[in-house]
């Protein structure tokens, strides 16, 4: 392990601890510093950079800077999709974080599109049971508090439509 790798890992460990302790103002600079080191050492689209972006997006979200969290989330999604593929569970996780940032930042239409992409990827990873897919849709809707937005029903209908098992949720 190189000195740079050790430094990045130490910074990320400190950032994650600050996130867990509810100190996003301390976590963000640590994650930013780790990101800068990773970009210089491994390149802007490396998995090492992706490892830095996840805690950075979370700390920005916790601090209420939803715009910055969304920008970081877009970068993370881009790296995960290019390195791991659109259906990889890490990509799904980064899409869900991005969607949460967009919801919190009052851009539900963009969030809906991101959640649809996450559901399409999840569909490939689930057992194929309609029940599993329904649970995934409800989980996303409830976890990210989409019930407060008027397009939740269209989000859920579209999500079911992707699976080819459209159901009326108005019943």
The token duo for 38 is 């990773």
pLDDT of residue 135: 66
Q: What's the domain range around 56? A: 1-91
Higher pLDDT, 142 or 87: 87
Band (166; pLDDT cuts 50, 70, 90): very low
% pLDDT > 90, the chain? 48
Over range 25-43, report the average pLDDT: 97
Question: Exposed, middle or buried: residue 109 (CB in 10 Å: 0-12, 13-18, 19+)?
Answer: exposed
- Residue 1 shares a structural domain with residue 81: yes
Does a structural domain hold residue 126?
yes
- Residue 4 shares a structural domain with residue 82: yes
pLDDT tens per residue across span 90-105: 888 889 889 888 888 8
pLDDT of residue 88: 85
- Kindly report each contact of residues 12-16 with a partner whose C-beta sits within 8 Å and lies 24 or more positions away, as own/partner: 12/51, 12/52, 12/55, 15/55, 15/56, 15/59, 16/55
pLDDT of residue 171: 29
Does a structural domain hold residue 9?
yes
Which of 61, 91, 121 is where one domain is finished?
Answer: 91
Does a structural domain hold residue 102?
no
Label each residue of the chain as H, E or C. CCHHHHHHHHHHHHHHHHHHCCCHHHHHHHHHHHHHHHHHHHCCCCHHHHHHHHHHHHHHHHCCCHHHHHHHHHHHHHHHHHHHCCCCHHHHHHHHHHHHHHHHCCCHHHHHHHHHHHHHHHHHHCCCCHHHHHHHHHHHHHHCCHHHCCCHHHHHHHHHHHHCCCCCCCC
Does a structural domain hold residue 135?
yes
The token duo for 152 is 């939740």
pLDDT tens per residue across span 46-95: 999 999 999 999 999 999 999 999 999 999 999 999 999 998 888 888 89
Does a structural domain hold residue 98?
no
- Residue 15 shares a structural domain with residue 60: yes
- Residue 59 shares a structural domain with residue 111: no
- Residue 65 shares a structural domain with residue 6: yes
- Residue 124 shares a structural domain with residue 149: yes
What is the distance of C-alpha 4 from the center of its chain?
26
Distance CA 19, CA 23 (A): 6
Does a structural domain hold residue 100?
no
- Residue 111 shares a structural domain with residue 153: yes
**CATH code where residue 82 lies:** 1.25.40.10
The pTM is what?
0.76
Which of 60, 91, 122 is where one domain is finished?
Answer: 91
pLDDT at 137 over 70: no
Does a structural domain hold residue 101?
no
pLDDT of residue 119: 79
Count of the separate structural domains present in the chain: 2
Higher pLDDT, 158 or 142: 142
Does a structural domain hold residue 96?
no
């Amino acid at each position: 392990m190189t000195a740079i790798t050790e430094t990045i890992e130490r910074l990320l460990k400190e950032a994650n601890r600050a996130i867990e302790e509810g100190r996003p103002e301390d976590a963000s600079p640590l994650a930013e510093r780790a990101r800068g080191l990773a970009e210089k050492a491994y390149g802007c689209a490396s998995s090492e950079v992706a490892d830095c972006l996840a805690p950075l997006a979370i700390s920005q979200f916790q601090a209420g800077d939803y715009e910055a969290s969304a920008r970081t989330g877009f970068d993370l999604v881009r790296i995960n999709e290019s390195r791991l593929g659109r259906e990889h569970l890490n990509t799904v996780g980064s899409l869900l974080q991005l969607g949460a940032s967009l919801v919190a930042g009052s851009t539900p239409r963009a969030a809906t599109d991101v959640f649809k992409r996450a559901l399409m990827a999840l569909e490939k990873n689930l057992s194929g049971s309609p029940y599993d897919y329904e649970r995934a849709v409800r989980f996303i809707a409830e976890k990210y508090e989409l019930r407060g937005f008027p397009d939740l029903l269209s989000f859920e209908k579209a999500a079911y439509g992707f699976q080819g098992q459209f159901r009326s949720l108005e019943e």
